[in-house]
Chains A and B, each alone.
Chain A
Amino acid sequence: MHQSKSKPESRLAAITFFAKTHPGDVCGSNGLPLTPNSIAILGRAQKLKELKHPHLCQYLDFVRGKHERTIVVSEYFGTTLQDKSRSVLIEPLVVRIFYQIVCALKALTEHNLVVHNLEPKHVLLDDCDNVKLFNYGLYHMTRCGDYVPFPIGNVRYMSPERFLGSKNNIKSDIWSLGMIVAELLLQTKFWPNLKISNIARKILSFCQTNNVFERIAREHNCLERYEQINGELRILIENCLSVTPAKRPLPTDLFTHEVFSKDIEAYAYTEPPKPTILLYRCPLEQIYYWWQLAGGDVQGELKKEGLIRSEAPILAIPQLVCLNGKIVGPKRSQSYLMDDRVVPLKLNNLYEKLCNQPAMAYFPLIHSPKFPHNFGAGMEQLPLVIRERDIEYQFYRVRLFSRLLKGYPYTSEMIRKEAAKDIPPYLRGPIWSCLLDVIPIGSYGKIDKFTPTSTDRQIEVDIPRCHQYDELLSSPEGHCKLKRLLKAWVTAHPQYVYWQGLDSLTAPFLYLNFNNEELAFLSLYKFIPKYLQWFFLKDNSAIIKEYLSKFSQLTAFHEPLLAKHLASINFIPELFAIPWFLTMFSHVFPLHKIMHLWDKLMLGDSSYPLYIGIAILKQLKNTLLASGFNECILLFSDLPDIVMESCVFESQKMYECTPKSVSHRFHVLRETPLTEFDLTPDVTLSHLQAEMCPRISANDFTSLLHYAPTDMCALDLRSAVEFSHVRVPHSINVPFVAAQLAEPRLDALGVSQLVEMLQGRIVICMSNKHEHEFSKFLVECGVQRVCVLHKGFNILHTIEPNILISN
């Protein structure tokens, strides 16, 4: 499968403009600074990325530059109608263009969008004479032009009512369409030598005219040509150019019109031949993503073309600043003016990087016996940040996951397996939702997100404080979406309430699924019961207390000396860990760190977050051990830089080596009921709080004994006599003598080589009494992984088949 080596043409382009700057130091009514317009644009524009239609250029990215610069990246190729119409177009082609623009407008109306800058420059034609509209979202993203300092739309094609201030009427676009087609049919450019103001006057003067089309034809001496136009078509254009918008047809009216339907084959979209370059068969948004990884830099390209010019800041210093904020000084540089040039982004670099990839990498056959192909094998050992920036690796991963996601939920298992290696950032949102077993069924739309509730005030004050360093989440659009999500979640859970922190918890899902609120919602909906079951009850104190007590126990299990120290200075998790767990760390880390943390969290069960907490303590271990209460709590009030990669690695390690029952909590969503050999509900909160070491279930004990006897060491605290009657194989008898525990020294127990025997194993204390006292002693001696057999030695008598040795 070798690809033809034809040169790749560009399919992407960028345009740039400046958003309006807010004057000086102005604050909104809430005392907060006004959101920069470029951020507002960024938020509104996101929705445009979702428009995928044969007659619309796909939007790919929106970038903020310095000084409110906004850069828009979108699909772009072929010829503009402006260029194409330099030579005469035959009537059937004109009708085809007419029809296809109608199709585009119809699609936009379905999304409640208007164009308002329709002109030949924004109509692109491919080799098959298919039309694609370009730059049609400018009016929407700038909120009817409010966010930019320049007017939107070309006067020549602007309808009379637009001059009078009317907006958001698709009929105004129909006028523009009428003008474009009229020009093509009359084969002339209207008013080529008039100044803008005169054109405007001209158009407004049409208000007195019955037949605009005819009048234009007359004025341009084309009456003859006008009369030659097919009657039906001519009337249609005359209708489009009705002075009263109400008289103009809607896109849907035009779409089914006789003029087109009689020869629809000739006018409808022609499927272009499949591109020979495999890269071009991939979705454009993926191509753009790889283009960036291959070194593509939009700002750089714009600089090369002179659209972004940097000037010495000193030249912009004002000579005088008045107290009212007015500035007197050098004129605004020319480089700040609107320049509507379109800059193509060259794909050569990307193409060269990927042209030798086999077809199997582009289109992995996940169900063929040849799968898995070892694309990217060996790279798994590289640090995650390197993998995430490697073009080839991300190419393999994105292609593989795209395929797997298409097969979801049937590919759940494969997705889980691949996600355990790493999750490509580009597809993180949908992959997380798969890991959370989300299946969208349209339920989100039915949830009431608008009726005012008593929680609204709290939500409203929390949102403007939630991850506001992020451009999307700080945009007005982001605020609306977050509010809707939170209100929907509260409405959908009458048994729960909004706790501060739910906003932070929702933010990562919104960030990843900005254009798919339902997916964001369902991910949150599934995430909470999985990791935070009952945390959002109005009275959650029992749940939180159990959680934090388990956290203390597990800290003692993995980090005995640290646990001992923290206990001695009374540094309890209640004082620092509530925001950690209630928000699954989303309140304490910035988004980019949460991403990597949750990548692993999603693969673990409800106990995983506890290990993350311990990994954080572990990372700060030396500081903590050397600090008193005040220093410790100060450290956590301003959490220092935590290295995520090692935090993730450590938590994973602890998660894997801890028997499930050791992390047992009663307040979790349970799939299988507990048996008498599990941790039974008679272990109450007061037990948890009183016992330093966690309990292990008889079930886990037996499976350790069967499958991993070298990973465990059972200490039998019963008397030597009892031990000699019946015992667990390989267990060590350490008859309990209270006096030996006076000082935390292992050698006081008088067992030779005890340290070596306990090293690196799960140490299980068994007795029918005293085991908690004894286990605490071990922790104080610094022994790791100490736990206590639940229900004591006696439970082992009832296990079948028998595991005991008796004499």
Chain B
Amino acid sequence: MATTARSGGNASGSSAQRPNGTQQNKNCQFKLVLLGESAVGKSSLVLRFVKGQFHEYQESTIGAAFLTQTLCIEDTVVKFEIWDTAGQERYHSLAPMYYRGAQAAIVVYDIQNQDSFQRAKTWVKELHKQASPNIVIALAGNKADLSNIRVVEYEEAKQYAEENGLLFMETSAKTGMNVNDIFLAIAKKLPKNDGANNQGAPAGRRLNDNENNRQTNNCCK
């Protein structure tokens, strides 16, 4: 789908409220996308992070859902614009619309499910190939509360993450374990000092900019 998941609204949006001149607080907005096999807990992670809730029977995501959450790191206010995508392989063709121009991605797998880990690796490859070159990728081994019936070993995933330069944590949306931490770790790793992510210069976030360059090679992927 040759469309954009994110428009320019941000340039004149909330970050503009910052009074000019007083530089004590920096405001950053980052677009973050969640990818991974279906039923690994992507929506649950977001729900836990954004609303502190957990639904046992979280509905499946069709297309994608959008949520935002703000974090404070030292003197910086970081606002995440989170695109939570559908997991089913068939919705794959929609994914570029969401990860294009994203500064961060969380690739989620289920520690009880080997296939979902393989799928996560495929996502990582695709992101390396197609997403912005500076994208910060985190790998989340979700459902860590069920670690007594795990299939994917912590060490294995950890090693894979290190080899590929990914942040890595095992998380549990159900208990809340590591959920905030993984978002925080991403926020820390994202560049905040240059003007790129600050008010007025949302180049990194504008999908349309990137899109024009990329349109040709990812219409089928």
**Interface, chain A (partner B; CB < 8 A):** 29, 31-33, 457-458, 461-462, 464-466, 468-469, 474, 497, 499-501, 503, 538-539, 541, 544-545, 569-572, 574-576, 578-579, 582-583, 587, 628-630, 633-634, 636-637
Nearest residue, chain A, Cβ from B29 = A630
Which B90-115 residues sit within 8 Å CB-CB of chain A?
A: 90-91, 93-94, 97, 112, 115
Are A634 and B68 closer than 8 Å at their CB atoms? yes
Query: In the bound complex, what is the Cα–Cα distance between A538 and B93 (angstroms)?
Result: 11
Query: In the bound complex, what is the Cα–Cα distance between A159 and B20 (angstroms)?
Result: 89
Q: What residues of chain A lie closer than 8 Å to B38, measured between beta carbons? A: 458, 461-462, 500
Are B3 and A572 closer than 8 Å at their CB atoms? yes
Are A500 and B91 closer than 8 Å at their CB atoms? yes
**Which listed segment binds A: B6-14, B131-139, B153-161?**
B6-14
Are B88 and A500 closer than 8 Å at their CB atoms? yes
Are B64 and A575 closer than 8 Å at their CB atoms? yes
Q: How many whole Å from B51's CB to the nearest CB in chain A?
A: 9
Q: What residues of chain A lie closer than 8 Å to B3, measured between beta carbons? A: 572, 574-575
Q: A458-B38, A571-B7, A629-B9 are in contact. Are A33 and B59 (CB under 8 A)?
A: no
Q: What residues of chain A lie closer than 8 Å to B1, measured between beta carbons? A: 541, 544-545, 574
* A465 in complex: contacting residue of B13, B59, B149, CB < 8 Å: B59
The yes or no answer to B56 lying at the interface (CB within 8 A) is: yes
Q: How many whole Å from A529's CB to the nearest CB in chain B?
A: 20
Q: What residues of chain A lie closer than 8 Å to B6, measured between beta carbons? A: 629
The yes or no answer to B86 lying at the interface (CB within 8 A) is: yes
Are A574 and B97 closer than 8 Å at their CB atoms? yes
Query: In the bound complex, what is the Cα–Cα distance between A464 and B59 (angstroms)?
Result: 9
The yes or no answer to B65 lying at the interface (CB within 8 A) is: yes
Q: How many whole Å from A38's CB to the nearest CB in chain B?
A: 17
Instruction: Give chain B's interface residue range (CB within 8 Å of chain A).
Output: 35 or more
Are A575 and B81 closer than 8 Å at their CB atoms? no
* A500 in complex: contacting residue of B8, B9, B60, B145, CB < 8 Å: B60
Q: What residues of chain B lie closer than 8 Å to A499, measured between beta carbons? A: 88, 90-91
Q: How many whole Å from A572's CB to the nearest CB in chain B?
A: 6
Q: A545-B1, A630-B81, A634-B67 are in contact. Are A32 and B86 (CB under 8 A)?
A: no
Query: In the bound complex, what is the Cα–Cα distance between A468 and B13 (angstroms)?
Result: 38
What are 16 contact pairs spanning A and B, CB under 8 A?
A31-B146, A32-B57, A33-B56, A458-B88, A465-B39, A466-B60, A574-B1, A574-B97, A575-B3, A575-B66, A579-B62, A587-B60, A629-B7, A629-B9, A634-B66, A637-B67
Q: How many whole Å from A501's CB to the nearest CB in chain B?
A: 5
Are A578 and B63 closer than 8 Å at their CB atoms? yes
Of listed A538, A570, A630, residue having the most chain B CB within 10 A: A630
* A31 in complex: contacting residue of B91, B97, B143, CB < 8 Å: B143
The yes or no answer to B121 lying at the interface (CB within 8 A) is: no
Q: A500-B62, A569-B7 are in contact. Are A628 and B90 (CB under 8 A)?
A: no
Q: What residues of chain A lie closer than 8 Å to B45, measured between beta carbons? A: none
Q: What residues of chain A lie closer than 8 Å to B48, measured between beta carbons? A: none
* A587 in complex: contacting residue of B56, B59, B64, B87, CB < 8 Å: B59
Closest 3 CB pairs of A and B: A570-B7, A629-B9, A461-B39
Are B60 and A462 closer than 8 Å at their CB atoms? yes
Are A541 and B93 closer than 8 Å at their CB atoms? yes
Nearest residue, chain B, Cβ from A501 = B62
Are B62 and A578 closer than 8 Å at their CB atoms? yes
Query: In the bound complex, what is the Cα–Cα distance between A461 and B143 (angstroms)?
Result: 15
Query: In the bound complex, what is the Cα–Cα distance between A539 and B58 (angstroms)?
Result: 27
Are B146 and A466 closer than 8 Å at their CB atoms? no
The yes or no answer to B76 lying at the interface (CB within 8 A) is: no
Q: A569-B7, A571-B7, A637-B65 are in contact. Are A500 and B90 (CB under 8 A)?
A: yes
The yes or no answer to B124 lying at the interface (CB within 8 A) is: no
Nearest residue, chain B, Cβ from A474 = B57
Query: In the bound complex, what is the Cα–Cα distance between A497 and B81 (angstroms)?
Result: 32
Nearest residue, chain B, Cβ from A636 = B66
The yes or no answer to B5 lying at the interface (CB within 8 A) is: yes
Q: How many whole Å from A560's CB to the nearest CB in chain B?
A: 20
Nearest residue, chain A, Cβ from B115 = A457
* B57 in complex: contacting residue of A29, A465, A574, CB < 8 Å: A465
Query: In the bound complex, what is the Cα–Cα distance between A388 and B10 (angstroms)?
Result: 48
Query: In the bound complex, what is the Cα–Cα distance between A725 and B57 (angstroms)?
Result: 68
Q: What residues of chain A lie closer than 8 Å to B198, measured between beta carbons? A: none
Query: In the bound complex, what is the Cα–Cα distance between A500 and B146 (angstroms)?
Result: 25
Q: How many whole Å from A397's CB to the nearest CB in chain B?
A: 33
Q: How many whole Å from A483's CB to the nearest CB in chain B?
A: 15
Query: In the bound complex, what is the Cα–Cα distance between A70 and B1 (angstroms)?
Result: 51
Q: How many whole Å from A655's CB to the nearest CB in chain B?
A: 24
Which B12-62 residues sit within 8 Å CB-CB of chain A?
A: 13-14, 38-39, 56-62
